[in-house]
Amino acid sequence: MSKPIKICMIGAGRVGKLHSGTLKRYIPDGVVAALVDTQQSMLDETGQEFNIDKRFALLEEALDKTEFDAVVITTPTFTHKDLSVMAAEHGKHVFLEKPMAMDLDECDQIIDACQKNGVHLQLGFMRRFDPDFSLAFERIQSGEIGEPMLVKSLTHGPGLPPPWACDLKTSNGNLAEVNSHDLDATRWLMNSNPTRIYLEVANFKGEERGVNAEYYYDNMIASLKFESGGLGSISGVCPCDYGYDARMEIIGNKGIMIIGEMKNNALTIGIDRDTGLVTPIFRRWQDRFKMAYINEIEHFVISIQSDSPPAVGGEDGRWAVAGVLAGTRSLLEKRPVLLSEVM
Amino acid sequence: MSKPIKICMIGAGRVGKLHSGTLKRYIPDGVVAALVDTQQSMLDETGQEFNIDKRFALLEEALDKTEFDAVVITTPTFTHKDLSVMAAEHGKHVFLEKPMAMDLDECDQIIDACQKNGVHLQLGFMRRFDPDFSLAFERIQSGEIGEPMLVKSLTHGPGLPPPWACDLKTSNGNLAEVNSHDLDATRWLMNSNPTRIYLEVANFKGEERGVNAEYYYDNMIASLKFESGGLGSISGVCPCDYGYDARMEIIGNKGIMIIGEMKNNALTIGIDRDTGLVTPIFRRWQDRFKMAYINEIEHFVISIQSDSPPAVGGEDGRWAVAGVLAGTRSLLEKRPVLLSEVM
Amino acid sequence: MSKPIKICMIGAGRVGKLHSGTLKRYIPDGVVAALVDTQQSMLDETGQEFNIDKRFALLEEALDKTEFDAVVITTPTFTHKDLSVMAAEHGKHVFLEKPMAMDLDECDQIIDACQKNGVHLQLGFMRRFDPDFSLAFERIQSGEIGEPMLVKSLTHGPGLPPPWACDLKTSNGNLAEVNSHDLDATRWLMNSNPTRIYLEVANFKGEERGVNAEYYYDNMIASLKFESGGLGSISGVCPCDYGYDARMEIIGNKGIMIIGEMKNNALTIGIDRDTGLVTPIFRRWQDRFKMAYINEIEHFVISIQSDSPPAVGGEDGRWAVAGVLAGTRSLLEKRPVLLSEVM
Amino acid sequence: MSKPIKICMIGAGRVGKLHSGTLKRYIPDGVVAALVDTQQSMLDETGQEFNIDKRFALLEEALDKTEFDAVVITTPTFTHKDLSVMAAEHGKHVFLEKPMAMDLDECDQIIDACQKNGVHLQLGFMRRFDPDFSLAFERIQSGEIGEPMLVKSLTHGPGLPPPWACDLKTSNGNLAEVNSHDLDATRWLMNSNPTRIYLEVANFKGEERGVNAEYYYDNMIASLKFESGGLGSISGVCPCDYGYDARMEIIGNKGIMIIGEMKNNALTIGIDRDTGLVTPIFRRWQDRFKMAYINEIEHFVISIQSDSPPAVGGEDGRWAVAGVLAGTRSLLEKRPVLLSEVM
């Protein structure tokens, strides 16, 4: 029998709560041994909710005062590099939320630190662990739709991201914070790296929601070209209010595959024939990817227990960051941009 | 080129309007040459709506004063026998709405009159001409799901039937007026005659809707046994308010087939994540079976032009009436009833 | 923090494996402390698969030689009463698979033993813990579709039940072994007890599958009448080969609710336009109700930890057995049978 | 009562057959009075199939030798201008298939000729008459999803277009021949003109299908910017083999609307649990848009009878051609192109 893995959760906000709750409720072999957050109120709230007694303002303290095998990093993007490198240098395995980092140099530092210290690095691309997406991947790999030619992916989310994520000065905007998942998933299912990206963006709700950052956009369409010659399209709408929506379509030279749907439950209700039929929708990403979040964190625990590398790692995170950087340049320079220009 | 067929529409009410409108709009070879209704206001309203100039209170007058090849009978069930026999005896082809008649003796008189006078008799079981149902039939016939073992059929409709149709003294109730379609469709798809029927009924809305006829029911479940050994279940809910609903499921020894759905349009709308997704529903039977109504009346016209017998005729109507009579006896005597007891 | 609950798993077959696997993988607070099975090979196979070291041929031994808080009983129906009573008399909480027992006297003995010994009794009606079914229940309870009038439920399963379950001498047949779930779920969602049942059955595959028990049937339709005046229909097809299928529809005086679907993944594939679109189906009940099995056993663990009664207990199991007994009498006597005749 | 409209069908190929068949079967007030095709064998084949006796090699002959009110032009794009102008100058109403013409000058000549001669000009954008698409338009116009922000549209078709349509020397390629519909439909539903377009294309099947025209592509993704500030994305895959696929999604500031689906029938079949569920797909555009083709040609007939302008005309066709020209320039110059550069 394997030894349970002790985890230090870094970040006590929405994503920290999600992973803490998943570990506590569903993962017998993953124990949240410590919680880190600079904000005392969040630290206490989340610590109490999930019975995590060891709470620290800083990772340094946690490293100093308690024992654990791994960290799960859920803090804002601009903190990822320092936290990952510090954890790796202390021999802790790293589960790192997307986007991996602010730029490729940071990505390289994280990858290097993990390699040098012999610790695992898993990126938080949970779609790869969703039952629908992972079955799609398997069936595409088996050749069912032939050679992938064209892929479409969308992420539309209901909530306005936090202020730092809306501003190109402190983040890479929605392309990074919302659509990193699509950049990873299209590359994964196409089985090919993107080579060129072109962005069109729009800002419909910024003013009414109090966002006045330069270059802010809440609607985005990215066109992609892949090494294989294939094509891609990604759409991002955030905030979208109608629910959380993440779907893909991929066409190969033999056929099409449609992945994901908006409805949350197999429940159809008809009351009023003027309204028609009603079906519950995914309200939040936590609902849409509940099983994926269980599976990805279980995968991280097992990869440590069995000393086998995680299925999604630093290179995958780095490619998504490269796509973000090229896409943002396309937006600023109003032209298609090669990924080689930023890599 | 074939000669257009002249039709006398008997009944200017809902069903008469439907068939008149279908013929006028979509069937170049079917001409509504005359309209018959004892109620002058309906006669004028429907006559004007569809530009039918020749209008008569009685079929006798129409036969006397104008020329036509066929009749379409859409009047209440208790008038079917007299009208059909009269039309047949004047050499007119007969399209007769369901239920065929009040009892088996009436059915026999209609069948005999049509046979003796060499005219076609087509029953208004439009499901047989619906693209979904007819494709299902073809694929079942081809052996796709193997030998049919169990069939389920439902008809739920929004409107309260007219008073005469709610009363067992003037009709055979909802089993006849609403669920005749299911009795026909289950026999058709099972490719076997029913041998036994058991009814459970309930009355939830009668009082609030002002129906106080003895034995009135607005909810019904019928269990069926077929000659083949197969089983069936039919549900009827009328009035049901949420829309018009007609679906079937059939299980063979190789597989299952699900026929029909409630949604009217391939249109899914998400506005509010508390509500979820919304899809238009079929509001009325006229919407659900629009194409079936076009196809069935076109089939009638072509069967006359080509002198080939209609695909659904007197025997089919008679079997549905037999099922109604046995089912009603089951309801009154609270026991399963063999169809042979009423045939 | 609550103390983990130690569980003795009784039965090392399919259902014992399912619950053991669920507890091991997903329930940190539920520990499989012992395994009991009279068949040594199954005991070892399942014990090894799930790392359960304490293995016993008999519950008596397990009670004598190891410590635990609760039992999960997954053995054949005819063993339920003795095992439940023995566990209860030793102060162990009881999770008992359906059907509860062979007859109502056994049900009463189980209920009494649990009550006298102050232990919880939870019945294995996992549909009550399925996200779709439980959301449906909540929304029906909130009045969304009004007063329930008519319910339909189906369970179609791919595998031939074991020989003892096919024979009315050693079980109550498929109505008990397959459709107990429907008897419970219809009563639950209608919020009313059944009062009358009528069965039609058929045997299409028995001979080819080597079943020659008298009264064996593989297709079944049951009609139900409820105390509320409402109606119900249940269909059972087993073995059906096309997959595992469990769905319901319920119509209230305000609207309809359709619960469940056949597709296992939100994945639609089109390769060949002659074939059309393909979607994965639930292959087995373990797939269809994966989340329900997690939720029900978590509920059992929490009900012990928090000393609150389980949401589905002995009375619910007893009503399903009463339905089975009346239904079987209906089959044998070819007439509708009141539940009061068997209670 | 209105007088039937006599139509001269120009082009006896696939589209000419479709419209001839629709008129003959479903449109009592539209009579195919003459057929024109330069290819004698097609002329005879189609003439015999639909009983059209008056057959001519050239429109000039038809104008000279027979009487009609209108023409339906279904010949290759490069013939559209001459035929439309000639028909208009002889006082015939014009129904013109998409794409309208080869360039904007041709479009202007057609529009001018129709205006000067007081005849109707209807473009063959049948999606506007499809029950799903037209209901979507109505509900968007009513404000249901708020201000449109982002639209996606796709047309994937199974058959390789004819050689002239694969070559940029004799046509404007697949963007014109396949995706004109999307250019029109996105502008229609966004209620805004496109201002910028960027194309990515790929060629996966050209070689194996014997197409070696320079710039040939069988996969295409176009990004659009609209006057309103909104965004659009169009994908084209042709030939795609899996069936005919035409769907849209549109997101407004209040919600999302998904229009269209791939399944052709409400028929779901489960035979083998390894395969899963199977549903028929639209095989051809003729199947997907059957009702739309009936409605659009009926609309043309009624617009002549009632002397009211068709709902989709020359300006709509011209905008789609402008999008095609700008898109093709984007492809050749590998940059986003403003529509103002070509208009």
Instruction: Encode pLDDT of C260-317 as tens digits.
Output: 999 999 999 999 999 999 999 999 999 999 999 999 999 999 999 999 999 999 999 9
CB of B266 within 8 Å of a chain A CB? The answer is no
Chain A contact set for B279 (CB, 8 A): 276-277, 279
List of residues 6+ apart from B210 with CB closer than 8 A: none
The alpha carbon of residue C26 is apart from the nearest alpha carbon of chain B, in Å, by: 29
CB-CB under 8 Å, C277 with D281? yes
CB-CB under 8 Å, D254 with A240? no
Which residue from A minimizes the CA distance to B272?
A242
Q: Is the pLDDT of residue A1 over 80?
A: no
CB-CB under 8 Å, D260 with B261? no
Q: What's the pLDDT tens digit per position in A231-272?
A: 999 999 999 999 999 999 999 999 999 999 999 999 999 999
The pLDDT value recorded for residue D2 is 80
| CA-based radius of gyration for chain D | 20
Of C24, C131, C265, the CB nearest to A135: C265
Chain B contact set for D139 (CB, 8 A): 267, 269
The pLDDT value recorded for residue B2 is 80
List of residues 6+ apart from B287 with CB closer than 8 A: B244, B264
CB-CB under 8 Å, A231 with D219? yes
Q: Quick one: which of A48, B203, A213, A256 has its CA closest to C147?
A: B203
Half-sphere exposure of A183 (CA within 13 A, CB side): 33
A2 band by pLDDT with thresholds 50, 70 and 90: confident
CB of D272 within 8 Å of a chain C CB? The answer is yes
The alpha carbon of residue C286 is apart from the nearest alpha carbon of chain D, in Å, by: 14
CB-CB under 8 Å, C147 with B221? no
CB-CB under 8 Å, D268 with B145? no
CB of D53 within 8 Å of a chain B CB? The answer is no
Q: What's the pLDDT tens digit per position in A121-174?
A: 999 999 999 999 999 999 999 999 999 999 999 999 999 999 999 999 999 999
Write down the mean pLDDT value for chain B: 97
- Rounded CA separation A142/C271 (Å): 14
Chain A contact set for C147 (CB, 8 A): none
Residue D35: CB atoms within 10 Å: 25
C1 band by pLDDT with thresholds 50, 70 and 90: low
CB of B38 within 8 Å of a chain A CB? The answer is no
The single-letter DSSP state of residue C310 is -
Backbone phi, psi, residue C221, to 5° = -125, 125
Listed as ranges, residues in chain D with pLDDT below 50 are: none
- Rounded CA separation B82/B325 (Å): 20
- Rounded CA separation A250/A70 (Å): 36
Residue B252: its H or E element: strand B245-252
CB of A271 within 8 Å of a chain C CB? The answer is yes
- Rounded CA separation D167/C299 (Å): 66
- Rounded CA separation A174/A157 (Å): 11
Write down the mean pLDDT value for chain C: 97
Q: What's the pLDDT tens digit per position in D104-155?
A: 999 999 999 999 999 999 999 999 999 999 999 999 999 999 999 999 999 9
Of B252-266, C1-15, C77-91, D144-158, the range with the lowest mean pLDDT is C1-15
- Rounded CA separation C189/A171 (Å): 50
The alpha carbon of residue B261 is apart from the nearest alpha carbon of chain D, in Å, by: 6
CB-CB under 8 Å, B258 with D268? yes
Which residue from B minimizes the CA distance to D260?
B266
CB of C278 within 8 Å of a chain A CB? The answer is no
Instruction: Pull the structure tokens for residue A251.
Output: 């066409």
CB of D1 within 8 Å of a chain C CB? The answer is no
The single-letter DSSP state of residue C281 is B
The alpha carbon of residue A249 is apart from the nearest alpha carbon of chain C, in Å, by: 9
CB-CB under 8 Å, D24 with B26? no
- Alpha helices (H) in B117-251, listed in sequence order: 131-141, 163-166, 173-177, 180-190
- Rounded CA separation D236/D259 (Å): 17
CB-CB under 8 Å, D277 with C279? yes
For an interface test with D, give the residue of B258, B274, B290 to mutate (most D CBs within 10 A). Answer: B258
Chain B contact set for A274 (CB, 8 A): 283
C2 band by pLDDT with thresholds 50, 70 and 90: confident
Instruction: Pull the structure tokens for residue D30.
Output: 């539209």
List of residues 6+ apart from B144 with CB closer than 8 A: B252, B254, B255, B257, D269, D271
Strands B30-36, D219-226: parallel, antiparallel or unpaired by DSSP?
Answer: unpaired
Chain C contact set for D268 (CB, 8 A): 262
CB-CB under 8 Å, C254 with A267? no
The pLDDT value recorded for residue D207 is 94
The pLDDT value recorded for residue D94 is 98
Q: Which residue has the tokens 């829309």?
A: B243
Contact pairs from chain B to chain D, CB under 8 Å? 82
CB-CB under 8 Å, D265 with B258? no
Query: Which whole-number Å values give the CA distances from B332 to A175, B198, B211, B214, B234, in the listed order?
Result: 69, 11, 19, 11, 18
CB-CB under 8 Å, A198 with D235? no
State the chains in contact with A (3 or more Cβ–Cβ pairs under 8 Å): B, C, D
Q: Which residue has the tokens 């499921």?
A: B249
A window 148-207, beta carbon within 8 A of B = 158
Polymer length in residues for chain B: 343
- Rounded CA separation C299/C310 (Å): 7
CB of D106 within 8 Å of a chain A CB? The answer is no
CB-CB under 8 Å, B279 with A243? no
Bond prior to B99 in cis (omega within 30° of 0): yes
Do the beta carbons of residue B241 and residue A270 sit within 8 Å? no
CB-CB under 8 Å, B256 with D267? no
Residue D180: its H or E element: helix D180-190
CB-CB under 8 Å, B235 with C150? yes
- Rounded CA separation C294/D268 (Å): 30
State the chains in contact with D (3 or more Cβ–Cβ pairs under 8 Å): A, B, C
CB of C257 within 8 Å of a chain A CB? The answer is yes
Chain B contact set for D269 (CB, 8 A): 139, 144-145, 255-258
- Rounded CA separation A102/A180 (Å): 12
Chain C contact set for A266 (CB, 8 A): 132, 259-261
Chain A contact set for B271 (CB, 8 A): 242
- The amino acid at residue C102 is M
CB-CB under 8 Å, A278 with B264? no
Backbone phi, psi, residue B115, to 5° = -65, -50
Backbone phi, psi, residue C30, to 5° = -120, 115
- Alpha helices (H) in chain B, listed in sequence order: 14-26, 40-49, 59-65, 80-89, 104-116, 131-141, 163-166, 173-177, 180-190, 285-288, 290-305, 314-333
Q: What's the pLDDT tens digit per position in C194-245?
A: 999 999 999 999 999 999 999 999 999 999 999 999 999 999 999 999 999 9
- Rounded CA separation B219/B224 (Å): 17
Span C155-171, mean pLDDT? Answer: 94
Crossing angle, helix B290-305 and helix B14-26, to 10 degrees?
Answer: 70
CB of C242 within 8 Å of a chain D CB? The answer is yes
List of residues 6+ apart from C209 with CB closer than 8 A: C160, C239
- Please state the pTM of the whole predicted model: 0.97
Of A107-111, A307-311, D1-5, D186-190, the range with the lowest mean pLDDT is D1-5
Residue C138: CB atoms within 10 Å: 10
Mean pLDDT of successive 10-residue stretches along chain B, which has 343 residues: 91 98 98 98 98 98 98 98 98 98 98 98 98 98 98 96 93 96 98 98 96 96 98 97 97 98 97 97 97 98 98 98 98 98 97
CB-CB under 8 Å, A232 with D204? no
Residue D25: CB atoms within 10 Å: 15
Chain D contact set for A200 (CB, 8 A): 196, 198, 223-225, 231
List of residues 6+ apart from B290 with CB closer than 8 A: none
Instruction: Pull the structure tokens for residue D289.
Output: 């848009």
Of A28, A51, A254, the CB nearest to C271: A254
State the chains in contact with B (3 or more Cβ–Cβ pairs under 8 Å): A, C, D
Query: Which whole-number Å values give the CA distances from A332 to A217, A320, B183, in the listed order?
Result: 12, 18, 67
